[in-house]
Structure 1
């Protein structure tokens, strides 16, 4: 007999056969207890309000309720709900989707784990234990998807952003927190011209503001 706490699991999966197979698997493990199985968003939110849950095993693509068509937005809405109202409840996405944008968004919305449905039972149990202890867990295949895409993005930015001497000069002053008027005084240009340089730099780096601009420039080694 061990002294580990029993982990209370809520399974959110619209495929009944798969959900029930998970329940059978967990019933054979003394450290886990399935408190409920939900097949749609409405059921999941109701269960979360009524049951003591440690970890939600979430399939992203579920219906709103009943037999409506499954949609990944419903899964994201559950993650958002947990993040805003129940931050103590951890979530692991267990999905058939290996799309970079869906993985990235899940993590941004607070998912502490992301595994594909081809994962082994051993790895799934390991992920649950690790997430329960407060550490994120990504399946190796998922990590590779994120790494390859991020690497391509970095390479693309590095290859496309080329700066003139004057643009680099203006960028350096922006990084120092100077206003357009201050920069204009420093390099002997009109404020309007400096503002144009700032706009060009934001476009070149696909940055929304000065902070993002400076951050991207640092990542490329320009600053």
Structure 2
């Protein structure tokens, strides 16, 4: 049986090596390359055309969501499995929107990752049990903030992370290499989408909801 070729993209060397070891112990899989950044992942996918790309969302420079979009453009044969510490369905949704076929969290078991790889390789989308359970709880509890959260752009999510840490608009602008005016526009749009009055209300909303936003 021909092995499924896999590219691993994660910025932690130990994580890449562990995944590579685990996957290569299974006769169905063959890890053909590893990458520590989004840019390298795109280049490797262009050159090697792996059947599956295991893509961490939080990569330095170009993040995993952006890299996913480019890999789908330059290597359409590659099916992408998003992997992240984030357990919020918003992140899974954004990965799927950009072309990923599946999403698992770093809490997922080895067996679930194997299952996810086989499912997406066979052309079916796969969302891990942890995310599906959270979605179920949200439906049961009647939470109505998900539409607003799901409408946030990747840039808005990054800015929320800075706001949560207490950064000023100027500090955010300097970190993201954009203008203060652009930051203010993003802040206004974030509050509008989440139906909140000010930054303090946003931070309170994030903390109370136990949402995970990182930059």
The verdict on a shared fold, with TM-score over 0.5 as the criterion, is: yes
Structure 1 runs of 4+ aligned residues shifted over 6 Å read none
Q: Does residue 87 of structure 1 match 2:76?
A: yes
Given that residues 56 and 64 in structure 2 are in contact (C-alpha distance below 8 angstroms), is that contact kept between their aligned partners in structure 1? yes
Larger relative contact order (CA 8 Å, sep ≥ 6): 2
Counterpart among 4, 8, 23 of residue 7 in structure 1: 4
Given that residues 100 and 149 in structure 1 are in contact (C-alpha distance below 8 angstroms), is that contact kept between their aligned partners in structure 2? no
Given that residues 53 and 78 in structure 2 are in contact (C-alpha distance below 8 angstroms), is that contact kept between their aligned partners in structure 1? yes
5 Å-filtered alignment, 1:145-160, equals 145-149=134-138, 152-153=143-144
Matching residue of 1:46 = 43
Given that residues 9 and 36 in structure 2 are in contact (C-alpha distance below 8 angstroms), is that contact kept between their aligned partners in structure 1? yes
Counterpart among 76, 89, 99 of residue 65 in structure 2: 76
Unaligned runs of 5+ in 2: 148-215
Q: Does residue 59 of structure 1 match 2:59?
A: no
Matching residue of 1:217 = none
Q: Does residue 106 of structure 1 match 2:106?
A: no
Larger radius of gyration between Structure 1 and Structure 2: 1
Offset from partner CA, 1:158-208 (integer Å, 9 cap, x none): xxxxxxxxxxxxxxxxxxxxxxxxxxxxxxxxxxxxxxxxxxxxxxxxxxx
Report the alpha carbon displacement of residue 147 of structure 1 after superposing the two structures with TM.
4.0
Unaligned runs of 5+ in 1: 65-72, 157-223
Given that residues 91 and 111 in structure 1 are in contact (C-alpha distance below 8 angstroms), is that contact kept between their aligned partners in structure 2? yes
Judged with a 3 Å threshold, the aligned counterparts in structure 2 of structure 1 residues 155 and 60 are, in CA distance, closer, same or farther, namely closer
Q: Does residue 132 of structure 1 match 2:129?
A: no
The count of aligned residue pairs is: 147
Offset from partner CA, 1:25-54 (integer Å, 9 cap, x none): 112111101010100012111111211300
Judged with a 3 Å threshold, the aligned counterparts in structure 2 of structure 1 residues 141 and 91 are, in CA distance, closer, same or farther, namely same
Matching residue of 1:23 = 20
Q: Secondary structure at the match of 2:143?
A: helix
